Amino acid sequence: MSSKTFSLRQPRATDGYALNQLVERCPPLDTNSVYCNLLQCTDFAATSIAAENSEGELVGFISGYRPPARPDTLFVWQVAVDSRMRGQGLGLSMLLGLVQRTAVDGVRWLETTISPGNGASEALFAKAFRRLGVEARTQVLFNRATHFQGQHDDEVLYRAGPFAPSAQLAHFAHSENQETA
């Protein structure tokens, strides 16, 4: 597969609508309202990351936040990579880039939830944990029967850390505002 150029940056408000469309193109992700996506691109921009291609189209996004009770933790809500851009390290580059950026503000732990059977997501996070030199502990956070009325698979929480302070992470990540080809 030929490698395609992308660049990473912090999201901005004008990404909100395109993010809504990107998530819609990325099943099994749950879609959210455009308003929710706008908030992810504004109030939560410091804990989220956007990727655009050489035409300036939004082709990747990670939404995240720092849980108020665990400010040393980056909780990754959704990871979306446009199908044309998959399999060339964009998801991993965004994840490590976001960890690198938030580590400057004291983040040392990474959390996410994954539904059993989402092999791509499991592989992406397993690789990120290996690169960060940490192991994950898992537990069912939201249960199909108890929390989703049987309408959604379990969501299993992965919590991994603590990882190194930001300086030691620098060589792991694809830096923001730099292009790769």
Contact positions toward ligand COA, by CB under 6 A? 26, 28-29, 78-81, 86-92, 118-121, 123-124, 127
The smaller minimum CB distance to ligand COA, of residues 73 and 78, is found at 78
CA 69 – CA 113 distance, rounded (Å):
17
* Residue showing the smallest CB distance to ligand COA in the complex: 91
What is the Cα gyration radius of the chain?
Answer: 16
Name the token pair of 153.
């698979």
Read off the DSSP letter of residue 30: P
Instruction: Tell the smallest beta-carbon distance from residue 62 to ligand COA (Å).
Output: 8
Name the token pair of 93.
């580059």
Residues 6+ apart with CB under 8 A from 39: none
> Which of 102, 114, 46 has the alpha carbon at shortest distance from 72?
102
Instruction: Tell the smallest beta-carbon distance from residue 38 to ligand COA (Å).
Output: 19
The smaller minimum CB distance to ligand COA, of residues 97 and 161, is found at 97
The smaller minimum CB distance to ligand COA, of residues 165 and 179, is found at 179
Instruction: Tell the smallest beta-carbon distance from residue 144 to ligand COA (Å).
Output: 17
Instruction: Tell the smallest beta-carbon distance from residue 95 to ligand COA (Å).
Output: 8
